[in-house]
Structure 1
């Protein structure tokens, strides 16, 4: 700023000196007055420029300083408020933990050190020690199940969990109800295991054992909720009718295949487009968007064959369905661009539709394929542990994911509440899976048979379209 002012002053002095010198040598004529007026005008504009420069630069520097101080002050206050809030929450949690530990010690002494009997008391509900004074709505938002369903789940899983703990030969040293609460909170919150361990005051290894015990109990007790499809002919018939009501697809569709990639930290498996280590999940949906079958793989299993790609399988064992005087094999709809082979029992949309009936088939297939994204979004909305990369091993992750699907099916069947705001943080497009290598060869002309079946179904759809 000082250098600019010195330059302006020197220019002004030079202009005045030239004015004086010109005045001495100037003949007295009419040009002298006009030149003097022009020089005076230039000097006036020059002074205005000096004033504007000084005021503008000074004002801008002051504004920048004030803005910088204001940002620093607001950032500092925000950090102080967060630290104070975290301190208060931690203090309250520690006080609750200390009170609960004192109560447990007094109960253990009154029960003559009968630890095992105290841990598995059916009437003792531990969630009130972990989440005190929660309303029913707050409890639902914490564990994503209602309080009554939680109590029923504890009663139903307690025998299997007690038996599983005895068979493993290692005591969890925590009550089984608390184990159920821990597992459900892990599934619903999406927090890392280290945070769950601190919240429940349980070591990390014991937390993982608790998750395994819970998931094994879910599979042994409630595993029927994940019924494989096709299971029986009547079951397949109901699914076919359901899909026919949902769309204009002829009553031969028994399921929709979906594929996604689940990020995982504790594994050196294949990488997705974002450079993350992932595990591939294939799932089969019925007409009610329930998960009928899951298959997980990564690492050496990443080169596995697509589901139902080889014959014979459960689909080929089903009896054929008569449609407009022609026998059609029951089939499933597979996602596009995943290198699934085209078979009589595995159909996908036309890659380059030309004829009207081909466009009609693609329209129906795309509408049905949207059910896959809807079901996946609903599953991940209820269980937020899918959102963050899993910090557990593949075997443990497979057990937890399968149990989560079983619980999801069970809760959907009993019409358990599902809040829309749970899905605000879920974007299923981030779980898009890369296609598997094309390793399926045509056997006995199955590709040609699949083309003929798809063309027949497409023409049937066009002829029955309203």
Structure 2
């Protein structure tokens, strides 16, 4: 991120992160705390490597990382990972080919070290330990709802049915009541998912089996719009590569770090920060190591 974005982030977090000097030592400045956390999140470096980079102790890096992630989640998460202007989102997806769409949903696996309890539950279908991040994104690839922490063995549909997003959508409270008429059918605002998700009045998924021309066209348009969530995950992991470095954290801390990365992703996207395609290729190389 650019310096202006970094300093703005420090200003937002300063009231929570600022510490007083003691007789024994001077407190780390807020800017250094945030820089240590950003560096650890943006690289798959070890705690020792980050400690050497900033001239602090290894344990200090771990402590500062969780302090900053907790501050981000308390201060920025709810107003950054939010629905925003629904009409803009609907118009954006309409331009991409799907009418009255409010978002695209999917899950992605975040590699972790083997947990001490029930480790077999965390082994996903690709054979490595992970937790699942479920996310709903808008037409620009920004997260509007996130839910993380379930073991990698659990199916996406089960995670979805246990999420707050599912309950809000089922109660018709997540989106405003804006229906359009398609043919002779009233269509509410819907979200788009892959075949793993259940078909609902407010959740569209692709047709399966033998397809005629109209069903094939429907699947193509749905796929075009659903690519936004795949691209969002690619950018998230490309910018915050700790998410592909086997998170070496306690179970209770993993979700906090994932949520902080999603919040920082939205901040960077909102500020127009550049994204290098080299980062994506590095993530693909890291991903290949888990195969």
Taking structure 2 as the reference length, the TM-score comes to 0.83
Q: Do structure 1's residue 376 and structure 2's residue 209 form an aligned pair?
A: no
**Per the alignment, in what secondary structure is the counterpart of residue 198 of structure 2?**
coil
Query: Of 2, 9, 12, which residue of structure 2 is paired with 1:153?
Result: 9
Matched with 2:68 is 214
**Per the alignment, in what secondary structure is the counterpart of residue 225 of structure 2?**
helix
Map 1:87-236 → 2, pairs under 5 A: 145-162=1-18, 173-223=27-77, 224-227=79-82, 229=83, 235-236=85-86
Matched with 1:323 is 181
Give the structure with the larger helix fraction. 1
Q: Does structure 2 conserve the Cα–Cα contact (< 8 Å) formed by 1:172 and 1:206?
A: no
Alpha-carbon distance in structure 1 between the residues aligned to 2:285 and 2:101: 24
Q: Which segments of structure 1 move beyond 6 Å, counting only runs of 4 or more?
A: none
Q: Does structure 2 conserve the Cα–Cα contact (< 8 Å) formed by 1:218 and 1:403?
A: yes
Residues 372-409 of structure 1, C-alpha deviations (whole Å, 9 max, x = no match): 22111111111111221111122212111111111111
Matched with 1:238 is 88
Query: Of 261, 270, 274, which residue of structure 1 is paired with 2:109?
Result: 261
Q: Does structure 2 conserve the Cα–Cα contact (< 8 Å) formed by 1:266 and 1:392?
A: no
Distance 1:302 1:202, change over 3 A: farther
Map 1:56-95 → 2, pairs under 5 A: none
Q: Do structure 1's residue 358 and structure 2's residue 215 form an aligned pair?
A: yes
Alpha-carbon distance in structure 2 between the residues aligned to 1:393 and 1:174: 24
After superposition, the CA RMSD in angstroms is 2.8
Offset at residue 172 of structure 1 (A): 9.2
Q: Does structure 2 conserve the Cα–Cα contact (< 8 Å) formed by 1:266 and 1:390?
A: no
Q: Do structure 1's residue 306 and structure 2's residue 163 form an aligned pair?
A: no
**Per the alignment, in what secondary structure is the counterpart of residue 158 of structure 2?**
coil
Residues 276-318 of structure 1, C-alpha deviations (whole Å, 9 max, x = no match): 2110111000011101111112349947833257875235234
Residues 8-57 of structure 1, C-alpha deviations (whole Å, 9 max, x = no match): xxxxxxxxxxxxxxxxxxxxxxxxxxxxxxxxxxxxxxxxxxxxxxxxxx
Distance 1:392 1:159, change over 3 A: same
Query: Of 403, 406, 421, which residue of structure 1 is paired with 2:263?
Result: 406
Residues 117-151 of structure 1, C-alpha deviations (whole Å, 9 max, x = no match): xxxxxxxxxxxxxxxxxxxxxxxxxxxx1223223
The unaligned stretches of length 5 or more in structure 2 are none
Q: Do structure 1's residue 416 and structure 2's residue 259 form an aligned pair?
A: no
Alpha-carbon distance in structure 1 between the residues aligned to 2:285 and 2:158: 24
Distance 1:321 1:416, change over 3 A: same
Give the structure with the larger strand fraction. 2
Structure label with greater radius of gyration: 1
